[in-house]
């Protein structure tokens, strides 16, 4: 917020790509700001092929997050064949009536990302978060460019993500002036305050660094804001 962000995508478990956020975290944010917040609905890491139980869990979580002050949601389900699963998303779309919707990066692992983008628009999504079906948005620039052409014809806003910083924003804006929305963590690593450190006892995946904490750096967001405004 201090760096000039227009809205937040709120999630937990950022190092594994983000999971559904804690309701209490959103309540904390609401005590600080009325910034637009869209909550990621992702019950676990891994693919986007969800069981009926996982869908119902997300729906119940959406009701709690709405009560806590969410403005919108970031959702997405795929079929086993890699297509957007409209049937699986029906309960989530119903729960999101009256709220803004972003299709998350399931688009980037779908069989036909461009078609998935267009289908998202037909389903009522106003935003599609994408890296252009690539590890980073710069690697996916050509696909993002095609989506931006659809955006110009009334398609959902293309929210460019994965590897975004001020330099990347300037690069995209020089090539695609219509690119106006970017998604970034602006993360920096802060050393743990622990003086005593028992090594070799991971709390999660072996090799995961327990002694650095990822935070959003306001300076990185400020630089991105300036690049976007320029």
| 76-129 pLDDT per residue, tens | 999 999 999 999 999 999 999 999 999 999 999 999 999 999 999 999 999 999
Answer yes or no: is pLDDT of 206 > 80. no
Q: Which pLDDT does position 205 carry in this prediction? A: 73
pTM confidence score: 0.94
Alpha-carbon distance 122 to 55, whole Å?
Answer: 21
Q: Which pLDDT does position 210 carry in this prediction? A: 85
Q: Which pLDDT does position 178 carry in this prediction? A: 95
Cβ neighbours for 8, distance < 8 A, ≥ 6 positions apart: 1, 29, 35, 36, 37, 38
Segment 117-143 mean pLDDT: 98
Contact 179, 173 (CB under 8 A): yes
Segment 186-209 mean pLDDT: 87
Answer yes or no: is pLDDT of 208 > 80. no
Residue 207 banded pLDDT, cuts 50, 70, 90: confident
Answer yes or no: is pLDDT of 38 > 90. yes
Average per-residue pLDDT in the chain?
Answer: 95
Alpha-carbon distance 181 to 225, whole Å?
Answer: 11
């Amino acid at each position: 917020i201090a760096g000039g962000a227009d809205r937040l995508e709120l999630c937990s478990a950022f190092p594994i790509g983000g999971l559904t956020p804690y309701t209490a975290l959103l309540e904390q944010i609401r005590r600080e700001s009325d910034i637009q917040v869209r909550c990621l609905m992702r019950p676990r890491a891994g693919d986007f092929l969800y069981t009926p139980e996982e869908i119902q869990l997300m729906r119940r979580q959406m009701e709690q997050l709405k009560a806590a002050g969410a403005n919108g949601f970031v959702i997405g389900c795929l079929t086993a064949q890699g297509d957007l699963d409209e049937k699986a998303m029906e309960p989530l779309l119903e729960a999101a009536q009256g709220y803004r919707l972003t299709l998350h990066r399931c688009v980037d692992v779908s069989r036909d990302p461009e078609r998935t983008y267009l289908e998202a628009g037909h389903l009522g999504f106003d935003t599609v978060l994408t890296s252009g079906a690539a590890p980073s948005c710069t690697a996916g620039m050509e696909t993002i460019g095609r989506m931006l052409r659809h955006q110009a014809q009334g398609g959902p806003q293309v929210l460019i993500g994965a590897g975004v910083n001020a330099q990347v924003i300037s690069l995209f804006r020089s090539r695609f002036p219509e690119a106006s929305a970017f998604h970034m963590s602006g993360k920096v690593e802060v050393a743990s305050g622990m003086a005593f450190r028992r090594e070799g006892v991971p709390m999660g995946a072996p090799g995961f660094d327990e002694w650095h904490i990822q935070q959003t750096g306001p300076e990185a967001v400020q630089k991105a804001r300036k690049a976007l405004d320029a």
